[in-house]
Amino acid sequence: MSEQPRPERFEFAANPSAGTTEQAPAADATGLPPEALEEVGHQMRDIAEVPAVEVITTAAVHLMSAAAVKCGLAAEEDAEELRDLDEARKLITALAGFVTAAAPEIGSQHAGPLRDGLKSLQLAFREASPFPDAPGAGPGEKFTGPVYG
């Protein structure tokens, strides 16, 4: 599949209901205006200063947080309404694969708490499920092995 050529400038609708367009500021070969390129460069310099272990643990914490909400563990009164076990299963499985793959790279001092959080989510999922999976068949257990309460 061939890639479509990128436009040299952006066009956007100033008033979508009127169908008029305005031309954005001139852009370089990337198709981005100079202000956007400057911002991207700044963000790249910022992320370059962050150690890999921090990026990995932050991503894992985001997956954990999302999975906890989907398991119905949110602190809000509407936690039950936010429960979605199908989505939770996907997030927990992704987290299990991520933590399992990252553990040798980030070391036990960082991987240990992530594994503990993952196990807690796996157990919470089992408790929240109307028909709990057998040990070893729950979300992420193909990566972590069976989880017992």
Q: In this structure, is the dihedral angle defined by the CA atoms of residues 37, 60, 67 and 90, taken in order, positive or negative? A: positive
Band (pLDDT 50/70/90 cuts) for residue 137 is very high
Domains of the chain: which residue ranges?
Answer: 37-141
d(CA 149, CA 135): 10
Tens-place pLDDT, residues 45-103: 778 889 999 999 999 999 999 999 999 998 888 888 899 999 999 999 999 999 999 99
User: For residue range 11-37, what is the model confidence (pLDDT) as tens digits?
Assistant: 434 444 444 444 544 555 667 788 888
Provide the 8-state DSSP code for 128.
H
pTM exceeds 0.75 for this model = no
